[in-house]
Amino acid sequence: MSKQIVWSPSAESDFANILEYLQENWEERVTNQFIDLTESILTQISTNPRQFPLIHKKQKIRKCVITKHNTLFYRESNSQVDLLRIYDTRQDPNTLTFK
């Protein structure tokens, strides 16, 4: 049974910033490929949230690499999957926070 995906404000902002960057610096095809890839991964996570590694046991945060430059962090609960961040891995890792 699939779980509902719930986007945090941080994840929504991260995704919008990535799309804005892609639209400004790459072809529309690249932006659409990123959107399709993200949707495909979210479908996988919704169906099987435990397939990606647990990186923070206490907070139950899991990590999924979307591309070599973008990583998705999420947490599973009983009824849903909370998307916490879609992080650009080229940033300073000390700026990665989860709310």
| CB-based burial label for 21 (10 Å; 0-12, 13-18, 19+) | middle
Alpha-carbon torsion 68, 91, 38, 44, what sign?
positive
Provide the pLDDT for residue 95: 72
Q: Tokens at residue 57, please? A: 């046991």
Provide the pLDDT for residue 42: 96
- The residue extents of the domains of the chain are 4-89
Per-residue pLDDT of the chain (99 residues; tens, 9 = 90+): 789 999 999 999 999 999 999 999 999 999 999 999 999 999 999 999 999 999 988 999 999 999 999 999 999 998 899 999 998 887 766 677 776
Q: Tokens at residue 75, please? A: 């947490």
Q: Helix (H, G, I), strand (E, B), or coil: what is residue 5?
A: strand
Provide the pLDDT for residue 1: 76
Question: Which CATH architecture describes the domain 4-89?
Answer: 2-Layer Sandwich (3.30)
pTM of the model: 0.89
First to last CA, the chain: 27
CA 74 to chain CA centroid, Å, is 7
